[in-house]
Structure formats: structure tokens, C-alpha cells
């Protein structure tokens, strides 16, 4: 679970750095490198990126005032993979806690 999510985060970070979106890249790097939080807390931190106006879900990649279609399509794919994997991970964690 965690390994796959970190892999997706790394792919997003690389794309953001390529597009010079340094603020979002730094935020995601912090989450990528977070080893102190419990798995559930870590997932909640990632999930919090997607809430509210101006959130990570609203990010549109642009260069020189022009929307970058290919890069935005890639970002959307990665965000969807991240959300899907997080949802699966929450279910796995909850099931694991119930069985203990």
C-alpha cells in the first residue's frame, strides 16, 4: 500500500518539478518523506490536499500562460491513481483494525 502510494507521489513530484510548480512539489515531497505519521494519519494528510478551493485537485499546469494539455492529462491520471489507491488503503486499514 504505502510503497505504491509513494511511487505515485514521486511521479507527481517529478511532473510538478518539470513544470516548475515548486510549491506543490515541496508539499508533496514532505508527504513522500513523512515516516513519522501512522499509516492512517499519513493517508489523511494526503487526502487533505484535495479539499477546498485552491486545492491540489484544482491545479492546472500552464507554461507562459498556455494550458499544457498533455501534462494536465498526465496529472489527472496520477491524481486519480493516488485517490483510488488511498481509498483502497483506507479500506484495507479499517479491515485490518476490525480483524484485530
Question: In 3D, which of 48, 42, 36, 55 has the Cα closest to residue 6?
Answer: 42
Which cell numbers in the block locate residue 39? 499509516
Distance CA 53, CA 36 (A): 28
pLDDT digits (tens, 9 = 90+) for 47-77: 999 888 889 999 999 999 999 999 999 999 9
Cα 60 to chain centroid distance, Å, stands at 15
Q: For all residues of the chain together, what is the average pLDDT? A: 92
Compare 95 and 79 and report the one with higher pLDDT.
79
Please determine, for residue 9, whether its predicted confidence score (pLDDT) is greater than 90.
Answer: yes
Q: Are 46 and 86 in contact (CB under 8 A)?
A: yes
Distance CA 19, CA 87 (A): 27
Compare 9 and 1 and report the one with higher pLDDT.
9
* pLDDT at residue 85, rounded to an integer: 94
Percent of the chain having pLDDT more than 70?
A: 98
* pLDDT at residue 100, rounded to an integer: 65
Q: What is the dihedral of CA 70, 71, 75, 77, to 10 degrees?
A: 20
* pLDDT at residue 51, rounded to an integer: 85
Amino acid at each position: 500500500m504505502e510503497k505504491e502510494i509513494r511511487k505515485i507521489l514521486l511521479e507527481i513530484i517529478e511532473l510538478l518539478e518539470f513544470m516548475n510548480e515548486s510549491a506543490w512539489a515541496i508539499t508533496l515531497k514532505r508527504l513522500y518523506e513523512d515516516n513519522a505519521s501512522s499509516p492512517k494519519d499519513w493517508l489523511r494528510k494526503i487526502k487533505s490536499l484535495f479539499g477546498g478551493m485552491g486545492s491540489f485537485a484544482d491545479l492546472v499546469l500552464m507554461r507562459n500562460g498556455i494550458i499544457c494539455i498533455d501534462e494536465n492529462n498526465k496529472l489527472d491520471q496520477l491524481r486519480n491513481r493516488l485517490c483510488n489507491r488511498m481509498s483502497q488503503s483506507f479500506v484495507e486499514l479499517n479491515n485490518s483494525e476490525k480483524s484485530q
